[in-house]
A = this chain, B = another copy of it.
Amino acid sequence: MSRRPIGVFDSGVGGLTVLKELIRRLPNERYVYFGDMARTPYGTKSKETVTRFSKQIVRFLLSLDVKAIVVACNTASAMALDSIEAEYDMPVIGVVKPGAKTAADTTKTGHIGLIGTEATISSGIYESYLDTYSPGIHLSGKACPLFVSLVEEGCIEDPVTTEIARRYLSVFKGTDIDTIIMGCTHFPMIEDTIQRVAGNHVKLVNPAFETAKSTQKMLEERNLENDEEIPVDEEAYRFYVSDAPDRFSRIADIFLPLSISGAKQIAIEEY
């Protein structure tokens, strides 16, 4: 059981920031990553559509005999996590809950900022988790869709990204916000820029980092950790996409410190 891989999925490449934190924290685990390149982005799609797509991916990952699933996508975590948990008998971890918990523990003023895609902001999912942890916390959201394209174009340390960050984050200036949740998996790639523009009085919460911590805890509690070393000749990380494997590998090079050997394309609609 414990030697089985962990399934990680996202609408595209963004979830690789979550995979990066997982590998860093749980280096003995095997991973299967699925990026839904044919249907990315999820951020602009409806709850019904995102739920249907997510369940297809879960069925695909189950066919590869995973022992747990990490929903490395804020939109899918916000919209589809409940239905997945209700339908499948499998430990499932989303990126929203761990990020929300840490933000609630971090803020002193009780006023948190949230940046992400339109769908994540308007879903209200962060509000509802925060409300459970710490009723009365105030959340101010700001959709930052251009950050996604800028990261995928490799504009990581770039004056244009700084200028766009200034515009987006200007809504938080002059408020008592002391904590900002990076509610989109792409955003940790430009964490330095966001931190610089937001100012040092603001603590940035990286849900990818918190999700890896939660995954480790869950594996420990359920005795699912792998403690045997993975043979050096074995491919411990496997990558699947629904389309555009070349584009995936190229952008993955920006995201991951390891080079990806050939993502495999599969027909996700058949699952």
Taking Cβ atoms with an 8 Å cutoff, the residues of A that contact B are: 37-40, 44-46, 49, 118, 145-146, 148-150, 152-153, 159-160, 163-164, 243-244, 247, 265, 269
Contact = CB atoms under 8 A, between A and B. Distances in A.
Majority DSSP secondary structure for residues of A touching B:
helix
Nearest to A248: B44
B160 A46 contact: no
A247 B160 CA distance: 25
Q: Which 5 A-B pairs have CB atoms at the shortest separation, nearest pair first?
A: A149-B149, A45-B243, A44-B244, A146-B149, A46-B243
Contacts of A38: 39, 45, 49
Given A44-B247, A45-B243, 8 more contacts: A40-B44, A44-B243, A46-B244, A118-B247, A145-B149, A146-B149, A146-B150, A149-B149
A39 B11 CA distance: 12
Contacts of A159: 163
